[in-house]
Amino acid sequence: MIGLNRPLDTTNGVKLLGERNSGTNVLEHLLRQVPDLHLFPSLPMLTWRNTLGLHRPVSALWRYRAAQEETLDYWHKRALPHSGGWKHAAPTSDFHDQFLATQQPAVLVIIRHPAAWLRSMHRNPFHALTRVPTEFSAFIRHPWLCTERDGLSDRRLPDLPALYSKKLDGIARMLRTYSNSALIRFEDLQSAPVETLSVLGLPCPPSFELPETDLRAFAKDTLRKAETNRTVAANAGYDALSGPDAGFLKSALDGSPAMDLYPA
Which pLDDT score, from 0 to 100, does residue 221 have?
40
- Which CATH number fits the domain that encloses residue 90? 3.40.50
CA–CA–CA angle 58, 63, 69 (5° rounding): 95
5 falls within a domain? no
Torsion sign, CA atoms 142, 146, 150, 155: positive
Closest Cα partner for 201 from 41, 14, 28?
Answer: 14
Which pLDDT score, from 0 to 100, does residue 45 have?
75
6 falls within a domain? no
| 94 within 8 A of 1, measured Cβ to Cβ | no
Output the pTM of the full model.
Answer: 0.89
60 falls within a domain? yes
Name the residue range of residue 231's domain.
14-261
- Count of domains in the chain? 1
| 107 within 8 A of 14, measured Cβ to Cβ | yes
Question: Which amino acid is residue 194, in one-letter code?
Answer: V
Distance separating alpha carbons of residues 254 and 185, to the nearest angstrom: 19
Distance separating alpha carbons of residues 200 and 211, to the nearest angstrom: 21
64 falls within a domain? yes
256 falls within a domain? yes
Rounded to 10°, the helix 160-177/243-252 angle is: 40
Closest Cα partner for 16 from 71, 72, 83, 79?
Answer: 83
167 falls within a domain? yes
Distance separating alpha carbons of residues 24 and 44, to the nearest angstrom: 14
128 falls within a domain? yes
41 falls within a domain? yes
List of the chain residues with pLDDT < 50: 216-223
| Residues 6 or more apart whose Cβ sits within 8 Å of residue 235 | none
Closest Cα partner for 43 from 70, 81, 8, 73?
Answer: 73
